Structures are given as C-alpha cells and as structure tokens.
Structure 1
C-alpha cells in the first residue's frame, strides 16, 4: 500500500530540486548569450524592467531583483557609464529615479532578439498552455516567498 502523503512529499521535493538544478544552467547560458552584447544578467534585468515598466527608483529596482541597494547601485553605475540609463529628477533629491536613454532602448531591442531566440529554443516542445501553467505556478510560489 502506497502512502499518499509520502508521494506528495516526494513530488514537492522533486519540484524544488529541479528548480534549483534549473537556475544555475539557465543563468550561465543566459550570461553567454548576453555576453555577445557585453552584458550580464543583472544588467539585462534592469534594462528589461526599465524598458517594460518605465522609470524606476533604485529601491524599486533592488526590490524587483531581490538584491541589496548597493548591488543595484553598482549595476546602475555601469549602465550609466555605457550610456544605457540616466537619472531623471524626482520629488525628493535623495531618490534616484532611472530611465533608459535612447541608446539603452536601442540596445534593449537588439539584445531582445538574441534572448527571444535563446528562450524559444529552450522551450521547444513545451506548449504555450504548459508555459502559462508554469508561469502561474512560479508566480504563486514567489508571492508566498516574498509576502
């Protein structure tokens, strides 16, 4: 007789084990693709956020990435050096609000082509319905983790 509780434990253990095993190879391969554009994942994540959601504060960007503000500040400083982002005035002089420059928007769109191909290639054979379900599951887990 099979204990259903043991089966559920085994399933969730496998689920999280696979999640952990997926993360590093994905990030390593993503960085290889981004390296073709002299970028890294942390920089790409900021470009992605600013392109899709508009100007953001450093606090918002650090929350979005799940890292400390000094980490985001270093990444932002590098993106400023490259001419991809710029600071815009805010209500509070202590608050740094960042947005993409025109060059940053152009770079984002160029890199987007590379990343789209990479992501489509690794999702080959996984239906859109399955992808949508995986997105829903990941969002649900993330919300539980950051509540």
Structure 2
C-alpha cells in the first residue's frame, strides 16, 4: 500500500471514533459536536454572523441556523443587532460562557487522554500537517 493511501486509511479510521467518543463526552452536558463547535468559536471570537459560523464549520447556513436556534432555546447564545441591519451577530450569553468553561474541562480531559504518549513535538508536527492538507483541499486547482 502506498504511503498516502495508508495515511488516509488511518485518518478515516481515526475520524469516526474520535467524533463518536467526543459526542459521548459532550452528551454529559446535553450537547453535540456541532453545538460545541459553535460555542467554542464564539468563546474565542466573542461574536459571529451566521455566514461566519457556516464558513467556519464548512456547512450550509440553514444547518447553522438550526443549531443556533437550539442553542438559543437552551439560552446559551443570543442574537444582537449589528451595524448591518440585515444580519445579526450571535454571542454567548452569561450561561453560555459558564457552559463553555464546564464543557472545556471535559473536552480537555478527553483530548489529553487520547494524546497520551504523543510528544508535544509530534503534536505540533501533526497540526502543521493538518493545516497544510486543509489548505490543499480548499485550494482550487489540479485535483479537480
């Protein structure tokens, strides 16, 4: 088997179990990964539009809208007016910030557990590789 085939075989074997176990950890807080991704983003960016969130998650705007609606029902996020009257900005509520801190502890514990035995140097190299692969995927060109 070629190296690149083995690379992507290993990636596909890793992705689904990671998502599954992450969702099990998030379920302890009544959340799913898509919700957590938005909470995480808003915690780090302070606010965002639906378009910014859909671009970040690389999903369609209606998908993000449904997730935002659910997070609003849970009182984790709220809409606020922006300079452009046609779009609203989304931000975490006070409860949302508390939820972020609680869930962050659970996710940190999980992520540290699954990286046990992997050096920081190897982690940094993997981050660099994933960034490069993502850039290659998003670059239009020869592969199409």
TM-score by length of 1: 0.92
1:78 counterpart = 2:70: yes
The aligned counterpart of 1:35 is 27
- Which residue is 2:99 aligned to? 107
Consecutive unaligned residues of structure 2, counting only runs of 5 or more, are 140-144
2-structure distance, mates of 1:10, 1:42: 34
Q: Which has the higher helix share?
A: 1
Q: Which residue of 2 is the match for residue 145 of structure 1?
A: 137
| Mapped partners of 1:110, 1:66: distance in 2 | 26
Q: Does 1:117 align with 2:77?
A: no
Deviations 1:33-90 (CA, angstroms, capped at 9, x unpaired) = 0000000000000000000122011001001001000000000000000000011111
Indicate the residue corresponding to 1:136 in structure 2: 128
**Root-mean-square deviation (CA), in Å?**
0.9
In the TM superposition, what is the alpha-carbon distance from 1:133 to its structure 2 partner? Answer: 0.4
Larger Rg: 1
Give the paired residue count: 139
Q: Return the match for 1:50 from 42, 52, 65.
A: 42
CA distance in 2, matches of 1:93, 1:85: 19
Runs of 4+ displaced beyond 2 Å = none
Question: Which of 107, 127, 130 is 2:119 aligned to?
Answer: 127
| TM-score, normalising length: structure 2 | 0.94
